[in-house]
Structure 1
Amino acid sequence: MLSREIVLEVKRLLDEDKHSQRQIASLLKVSRGSVNAIANNRRGLHGREPERQLQLFATRPSRCCKCGGYVYAPCLLCRAREYREREARLQKLARRVA
């Protein structure tokens, strides 16, 4: 999976309309199919999380300091709760702005 930065860079280069899809693929070292999928909106602008988050299970399981569960840090349940709270705050802010 491509990183988010690469996906956004492909989209930016496509929007500039100075390079062909083949040139963009060559410049960024990605497949032409990926560039084509981004160009035709068959692939969203989501991407892989940064490398530091891909190595979550490099340590031994331990007790979560927030919920007390025996987990690989960071606790997935706590991360999900934080995500939900963050999304709720963003929705609340969006409603205030609108």
Structure 2
Amino acid sequence: MLPTVLILEIRRLLDAGGMSHRAIARKVGVSRTTVAEMARGRRGDFGRGPEERRAPIRHATSIPVRCPTCGGLVYAPCRLCEVREHQARILQFRRELLEPPRGPRRAA
């Protein structure tokens, strides 16, 4: 994965025009394929493809809001609540695996 600084520089140079993909690749220090895939939209800014994009870059205009679940001041959606829900599901799954099955008791 490329650092955000390189991604932004590649995007800036692609948007400015006037430079070939090869020249941009040499200037930034990445492969031509990487620049070409970013130009075609086949490679997202933060992963291998647009569907794998991670957290977007926060602009100065984005405003944090209060999370209705935890009350924290966050950029929506609240990642902390998502992580807590995921951890709770994992713990519940582990408990279900470790608990012995509950069935009718046999008379001795």
- TM superposition score normalised by structure 1: 0.48
Larger radius of gyration: 2
Q: Work out which structure has the larger RCO, using CA pairs closer than 8 Å and 6 or more positions apart in sequence.
A: 1
Bigger helix fraction: 1
